[in-house]
Amino acid sequence: MTDTRRRVKVYTLNEDRQWDDRGTGHVSSGYVERLKGMSLLVRAESDGSLLLESKINPNTAYQKQQDTLIVWSEAENYDLALSFQEKAGCDEIWEKICQVQGKDPSVDITQDLVDESEEERFDDMSSPGLELPSCELSRLEEIAELVASSLPSPLRREKLALALENEGYIKKLLELFHVCEDLENIEGLHHLYEIIKGIFLLNRTALFEVMFSEECIMDVIGCLEYDPALSQPRKHREFLTKTAKFKEVIPISDPELKQKIHQTYRVQYIQDMVLPTPSVFEENMLSTLHSFIFFNKVEIVGMLQEDEKFLTDLFAQLTDEATDEEKRQELVNFLKEFCAFSQTLQPQNRDAFFKTLSNMGILPALEVILGMDDTQVRSAATDIFSYLVEYNPSMVREFVMQEAQQNDDKTEKTEFLGFFYKHCMHVLTAPLLANTTEDKPSKDDFQTAQLLALVLELLTFCVEHHTYHIKNYIINKDILRRVLVLMASKHAFLALCALRFKRKIIGLKDEFYNRYIMKSFLFEPVVKAFLNNGSRYNLMNSAIIEMFEFIRVEDIKSLTAHVIENYWKALEDVDYVQTFKGLKLRFEQQRERQDNPKLDSMRSILRNHRYRRDARTLEDEEEMWFNTDEDDMEDGEAVVSPSDKAKNDDDIMDPISKFMERKKLKESEEKEVLLKTNLSGRQSPSFKLSLSSGTKTNLTSQSPATNLPGSPGSPGSPGSPGSPGSVPKNTSQTAAITTKGGLVGLVDYPDDDEDDDEDEDKEDMLPLSKKAKFES
């Protein structure tokens, strides 16, 4: 059996600062004669070839990260990492490394410990400072070695930095740079490169202020042109002085501001282009350089923001029709860079910055610019507008609302939406429709998931704000069913986006949407996701329960009946919340009212408060009800004949007794069916749902000959012919379903224009026999 403790992946860091996987193998340590020392060896598990042969150098800094990762640098710009499968293997190799270097295996970075003895360290700390060699050509190599040897020790770095500051050493080194260039002393120039690079890694603001001063910065860049690893020096100074040109689109009168802009550009260039890519251990040593650039940008934004004349001239020229296209493009590009600098500001300062731009009229200016023909100018203006929307959306919203109040043309809005849904909506939904042709997403990579999440966000917005157009589009294109396919995505955020879309639709409480959901059985993907989620208490679980709780609390009768009739078997065992049992109770109350209209009428009358509710006793109220004149009753209420009035209480309660008997019978038969099915709610998350062509599919596994009370198609159920609340299949109340290309589509409902009054719905759902009795 293979020893998994030693199983590792070998990584190398590329020029883009990304880790490249060099292969998987097994690591060992041993003496290698060719390297003259203990080495790390990794042989590929596929063919046994040698993936890595690295000598454990006593002076190399090894770092252990996250218990299973060892990282080190073998040479400049060549970093290596071993990623172990098991912590035990990482600990074992780490002990070998520490043994060779004479370190304690409890440390995470081997070179954090100084090689000096305690007495030497004490003497070092108590000494006044570090003595630098005299700044001469003959001692450049010695200076370079001193700088390099000081970098691993924080204490020595501190002393070296203080010595460089106090003696004005950097300017002396730069004078030697001119001498070496004049003499074409390449060796001396290489030493100066190493020295200046090491000074950058000291990470001291005081040293940067000297190096980045107007008199020194170009010489510092010159030193960094002579990298010993390159055959020819770079030409950074030539680029900065001849190629890169500073153009003032609006004259800057403040010399300090102008100098700060020049300095920031050059330091940014040093960071991005001149300095070599830092190794894993050098990245933290350049944090002060990042901060230097950051605070420079903050100062520039602040100084420009305070110069009212500059900003006034800027916006005046931007909106002036006499400004030529080239000039306007330069102005827009400057404003774009100006806004990009604002990203460095703290939130409160950034708000003040955008408020200043707002007061200067940036939004009206952008409105003018976006209406121009020049595509480059419009593109830059769009980038500026995106900054405004991202960092100060309230300002944009307020401007748009003011524009809308000034030009409130509803006809224009209607025409736009008509055009959008006819010519543009299919482009928006194309990625969704292309990826949801099956029962699960055809592509489920992260990039596709992000794209679809954005599409769903826009569609959800349309559901909320474009009620008429989006409703027709969703129903005609069967969009909701396609969206719910994404509930099967492996990306939780995408599945939640799909659920949020359906929740927004249900939240409208629109019966057109509800009938569409019921006809297409669009709760199936939701219930399936709920059960597959199992007992995990996460956002998906809570969001689905909240949706069903909304249906219960809002008493959406059609959806309540649909859920209980079709999915109760899958949900009845969920008892850690009362949502589903509450839905079942709602459903049973609804059934009771349908089966016993006489009892329902009594409740309706007692609910309607048609008489004063003062200190009368219950007997007085009952007598008033029995003596109520038929003409005083509202439409839709039951009229009780004199013979019915003479009935005793047992006759009134008889339907309730029958209902309870039927409920007991139902429960006993359900238990019997439960033994025949493997579906047990939360305990069976792997159950599968399917929609057969042209037929309805229940979650319950019923045999064709078995019909439970209350199930569709069974005697006495709300959905079966001849039962209270049923509608014959050949009536116009049922929407036609057409099948084309394997996709289920809905045609228009004949009764879409009917009144949705609750009392009329109740009367329509009664069988003809009872309607005749009540209307007689």
Range from 227-231, 403-407, 597-601, 706-710 carrying the lowest mean pLDDT? 706-710
On average, the pLDDT of the chain sits at 76
Q: What percent of the chain has pLDDT over 90?
A: 32
- How many angstroms separate the CA atoms of 279 and 75, rounded? 10
Strand intervals (E) in 501-574: none
- How many angstroms separate the CA atoms of 644 and 641, rounded? 5
Mean pLDDT over 379-406 rounds to: 81
Q: How far is CA 122 from CA 125, 157, 293, 545, 667, in A?
A: 5, 16, 37, 66, 86
Burial class of residue 350, CB neighbours in 10 A (0-12, 13-18, 19+): middle
- How many angstroms separate the CA atoms of 187 and 201, rounded? 22
Under the banding of pLDDT at 50, 70 and 90, the label for residue 127 is low
Amino acid at 187: E
Q: How far is CA 193 from CA 46, 172, 378, in A?
A: 44, 14, 45
Show Cβ contacts of residue 652 under 8 Å, excluding neighbours closer than 6 positions: 598, 599, 602
Place of tokens 């774009």: 336
Give all strands of the β-sheet with 69-75 in edge-to-edge order.
50-55, 37-44, 19-32, 7-13, 78-84, 69-75, 62-65
Mean pLDDT over 607-626 rounds to: 47
Task: Enumerate the β-bridge partners of residue 722.
Answer: none
| Among the listed residues 172, 259, 260, 272, the one whose alpha carbon sits nearest the alpha carbon of residue 223 | 172
Q: How far is CA 498 from CA 11, 449, 524, 774, in A?
A: 38, 11, 13, 46
Distance from the Cα of residue 265 to its chain's centroid: 34
Residue 200 has pLDDT above 80, yes or no: yes
Place of tokens 């099967």: 488
- How many angstroms separate the CA atoms of 562 and 710, rounded? 11
Show Cβ contacts of residue 616 under 8 Å, excluding neighbours closer than 6 positions: 624
pLDDT tens per residue across span 456-510: 999 999 999 888 899 999 999 999 999 999 999 999 999 999 999 999 999 999 9
Whether residue 338 contacts residue 301, with contact meaning beta carbons closer than 8 Å, is answered with yes
What's residue 248's pLDDT? 83
Whether residue 318 contacts residue 328, with contact meaning beta carbons closer than 8 Å, is answered with yes
CB hemisphere CA count around 538 (13 angstroms):
13
Question: Quick one: angle between helices 618-626 and 597-608, nearest 10?
Answer: 120
pLDDT tens per residue across span 17-45: 667 778 889 999 888 888 888 899 999 88
Torsion of CA 354, 359, 361, 367, to 10 degrees: 50
Range from 16-30, 206-220, 719-733 carrying the lowest mean pLDDT? 719-733
| Among the listed residues 445, 426, 515, 438, the one whose alpha carbon sits nearest the alpha carbon of residue 750 | 515
- How many angstroms separate the CA atoms of 663 and 669, rounded? 10
- How many angstroms separate the CA atoms of 619 and 773, rounded? 28
Distance from the Cα of residue 47 to its chain's centroid: 42
For residue 571, the 8-state DSSP code is: H
Q: Which residue has the higher pLDDT, 30 or 767?
A: 30
- How many angstroms separate the CA atoms of 570 and 564, rounded? 10
Most confident of 61-75, 88-102, 710-724: 88-102
3-state SS of the chain: helix, strand, coil percent to 5? 60, 10, 35
pLDDT tens per residue across span 523-581: 999 999 999 998 888 999 999 999 999 999 999 999 999 999 999 999 999 989 999 99
| Among the listed residues 167, 164, 188, the one whose alpha carbon sits nearest the alpha carbon of residue 178 | 188
